[in-house]
Structures are given as C-alpha cells and as structure tokens.
Amino acid sequence: MHRFFIETYGCQMNVYDSNIIASIMADAGFERTCHSSDADILIFYTCNVREKAAQRVFSNINLLRSANTKVVAVGGCVPQAEKDEIFRYKHINIAFGPHAYHMLPTHVSRVLSGETDRVLDVTPLHPQKFNCCGAERTASHSEFVTIQEGCDNYCTYCIVPYTRGKEYSRPVADIIAEIKMLLARGAQEITLLGQNVNSYDGDAPYINIRKPRGTWNFGRLLQEVAALDGLRRLRYTTSHPKDITTDLMEQHAHIDVLVPFVHIPVQSGSDRILKLMNRGHTTKEYVDKLMAFRDICPGIQFSSDFIVGFPTETEDDFEDTLNLVKEVGYLNAYSFKYSPRNGTPAATMDGQIPDDIKARRLSMLQSELMKSQRAHNEAIVGKMMEVLLDKAGKKDRQYVGKNVYMQSVVVESDDADLIGKFRMVIIERAFQNSVAGRLV
C-alpha cells in the first residue's frame, strides 16, 4: 500500500484543508503515516502570506525526501501564486492550488502509474471540493469548518485575494451537515473559518455578489450551528472590522456556546496607514465597534493582527499603533514586520521601510502586547473556569487545555485520559503565555 505524509504550513484554513486531504486520500486507499521516512508520497500544504515561504517549502522537501519517495505534491497558496515558477524546483511532481485538493488522489495515481510526472492544477474555485470531505474523516474534540473562503477586500499588502480567490459562502445545509457529522464523531468545539466569516452570505452561496444582506447572514448561521446537539463551544475567525454588525454583537449576548472572545484584525493604529492599506475603516470606527461590543457583551475580549513597517510608516504612525494597543487592551495578538508580496500594490509603493526599523518597531509593539497579555493572565488568578483539555503537558501528569478566551491552562492530574474532556479549574498562577490551575 502507498503511504502519504502531510506537512502543513500557515493558517487554520490550511489545517482544515489538510484534514480533508488526509480523509480523501484515505478514502482513495492511501494510508497516512506520521513519519516522512515511511511515506512514498510527500504532500506539502503551503502558505504564501509571508516572504520566503516557497524557499522554506523547497528546503523542507530536500530535508524530507528519501529513497522511498515516489511523489512530491505541493499544494495551497504557494503553487497558486507561483504557478509559472513552481516547477523550477525539479523534485515536485504535483502542484495544486487551494481549490483543487479534491483532485489530489487522481493526480497522485496518474504519477504513480507513470502516466505523467508533472501535474499543475491551479483552477479557480471548484465548489464541489467542499463535498469531498471523506467518509474516513475522523474528528478530534476540537474541529475547524470552513464556511466562507476568498476575499474581495484587496488590502494592498495581502496576497489572499489572488490565491484563495473571490469571496464565496458555502450553503447553509452543507455546513450544518458537516458539523453534525463532526459532532457525531466526537467533536465538542467547532471553529468556523473564513477569510471574512462575518461577511457570510448564505443567500448567495459560492459567489458573494455584495447584494444587500439576505436572510442568511452570519448571525443566523451562528444560531443554527449553536442549536446542534452535542456542541459545547463555538468559535469563529477571522472577522473584518467593517463587517462587525450590531446583530453579530447581539448573538454573543444570546448564544451560550459562543465564546466571549473575538479576533478582529486592525493591522495599524494610524488612519493614514489604514487608508494606504485599503482597510476600509478608520481607527475611531474600529474602536467604536469594540466599545459597542463591550457594552452589549460585558466581559468580551479581543485579539488582533498588526503589521509594522508598512511602506511610508512614520514614527508618529507607529506611535498611533502603540496607543491603540494600550487603549484596547488586547488579550493577545499576532504581529509581523511588513513583508512585500509580489503582485500586491503595496509591494511597489514608494517608501519601503528598512528592515532594522521594522525590527525595532516590532520589538516595541510586541513588548506592549506582552504586557497586555500578562495582565489578562494575572486577572484570572483566583477565578474558576471551564477548560477543554487538549493535550498532555511537558511534565508527567500534566495536561494543557484552553479556556473560552483561548488562554492556555496547565493542570495536573493522575487521571489517565483527560484529553478532550471539559473540566472546571481554579486558576492559581499566571505566566506570560499560560496560566496554571487546580482541577475542581
């Protein structure tokens, strides 16, 4: 039997896609292995959001290829963005975009049979890819489900509209069927995924034509999912600030299983930079939405994304970003140096910022974000909260789980198998990236 090994890079949507790929490969009779040396089919599912992603994939192909390797398949956003270049790396047999993963077993079989040694499949969206989620798909206690993909916002730094394509929403019935299947197979926590989940439009499946919101907006989808038997926690990511509505805030006030923690990327605290980024909102509009969220749902917490060193960013612009971080008090955030992506407008803008300045600003921003994260961790000491235990810890008897705010909680127990179980925990100590507690 042929065995395959998958290495996944990048975002949660890539993790989701990789799970589907594993299940459709298993359905087609291939066996998954966790050791690349046991595999004759190596699959690399890639991310192109940052610079040098392709080089990293190529060097990892070199590291993982062995005498056993018969097929190397590279999927996801790198081949979609670099379709003209991808085969300059001679060891790649199959290059497939994020909309063609359902064809992978067919492509692999063609290479194995000797029919061809090169396949390029970077076609635009095949909606049927979502209907290929494999009879062999297993479910862990926490699962991702894509509800929306692609983006029409064209932020000037971002490659996603060119790799994942135009915005489209999956039909409600398909989403509900997939989640029901995952719940029946043991999932308890579901994270709904999309580049802009809150622009979900179930009345215009597949191609979001920007018509006025119909009856199946994101809030209604949340209600429908939350009503499913067996669901204990519901999360979603990512949201665009301009599509955060009062309706969505009110869902948080009314749906018990919906966590009080929302990721709302802002990227910069400077209105001038937000305009150059084509983000479609000002800092004030963003902060006003967060404050309204807090009024409607007291206790809600936020995380965000930041880019430092966007072209022309001045010290004053950067100061505005630091001030925004202090004002909002994020529970955590992802922060990066601006990385020019070929084909995006920002890559050719005047005023590119030297790397040493980007590095200094990133370090200053991260120390501010770390202060905020530490303060949030300290604020829950003494509180009792429900934790979903995810995995074994580094030490004997240790388990690590997540509370509703995605804070990592470490506990000790002699119980042999707590993974995938919800437990009440009293938080006793706070650290930078986690808290420690005692099982009640």
We find the least distance from the C-beta atom of residue 161 to ligand SF4, in angstroms, to be 5
* H or E segment and range at residue 169: strand 168-169
- Compute how many residues bind ligand SF4; rule: CB under 6 A: 10
* Position 11 contacts ligand SF4 (CB under 6 A): no
In the complex, minimum distance from the CB of residue 85 to ligand SF4, in angstroms, rounded to a whole number: 22
Here the contacts of 171-180 (C-beta below 8 Å, separation 24 or greater) are 171/202, 171/205, 172/202, 172/216, 172/221, 172/224, 174/130, 174/131, 175/145, 175/147, 175/221, 175/225, 176/224, 176/225, 176/228, 178/133, 178/145, 179/145, 179/225, 179/228, 179/231, 180/228
What type of residue sits at position 285? E
Closest separation in Å from C-beta 159 to ligand SF4: 8
Told to check if 195 binds ligand SF4 by CB under 6 A, we report: yes
- The yes or no reply on residue 334 touching ligand SF4 (CB under 6 A) is no
Q: What is the DSSP letter of 279?
A: -
Site residues for ligand SF4, window 161-180 (CB under 6 A)? 161
Nearer to ligand SF4, 195 or 301 (CB): 195
- Segment interacting with ligand SF4, rule: CB under 6 A, options 113-121, 155-163, 250-258, 314-322: 155-163
Per-residue contact track with ligand SF4, 345 to 384, x per CB under 6 A? ----------------------------------------
Asked if 160 interacts with ligand SF4 (CB under 6 A), we say yes
Name the minimum Å distance from CB 346 to ligand SF4. 11
Q: What distances in angstroms separate CA 361 from CA 286, 315, 327, 340, one per listed residue?
A: 22, 9, 18, 17
- Stretch of 88-96, 150-158, 244-252, 423-431 contacting ligand SF4, by CB under 6 A: 150-158
Q: Taking CB under 6 A as the rule, does residue 154 contact ligand SF4?
A: yes
**Contact 296/336 with Cβ under 8 angstroms?**
no
Q: In what order do the strands lie in the sheet with 233-237?
A: 142-146, 189-193, 233-237
256: nearest Cα among 292, 238, 231: 231
Q: CA-CA distance, 39 to 108, in Å (whole number)?
A: 13
Q: Does 151 bind ligand SF4 (CB under 6 A)?
A: yes
Least distance CB 277 / ligand SF4 (angstroms): 8
Site residues (vs ligand SF4, CB under 6 A): 151, 153-155, 158, 160-161, 195-196, 240
